[in-house]
Amino acid sequence: DEKDGQAAALGYKADTTKVDNKKFTSHKPDQNCANCALFQGKAGDKAGGCPLFAGKQAAAAGWCSAYAKKA
């Protein structure tokens, strides 16, 4: 949920293309949860766990300001 306290604080969006690039200047359009090092879903999953959002799911196409490129 984008409006959840932690999600809102991290600028989480379920759709990486909806991220405010003026506010989050580090954001790149090819960045999303599916290619974030913290994403716990498997390749092809529509959503998966993220340690920053315990007990919740992050959308594979989503993004937040804690994004870290998967090595």
In the complex, the residues that contact ligand SF4 under the rule CB under 6 A are: 12, 33, 36, 38-39, 50, 52, 58, 62-64, 66-67
Q: How far is the CB of 22 from ligand SF4 (least distance, A)?
A: 18
Q: Which of residues 16 and 22 has its CB atom nearest to ligand SF4 in the complex?
A: 16
Give CB contacts under 8 A, 24+ apart, made by 51-55: 52/6, 52/10, 53/4, 53/6, 53/7, 53/12
Smallest separation, CB 18 to ligand SF4 (Å): 13
Q: Amino acid identity of 11? A: G
**Shortest distance, CB of residue 20 to ligand SF4, whole angstroms?**
15
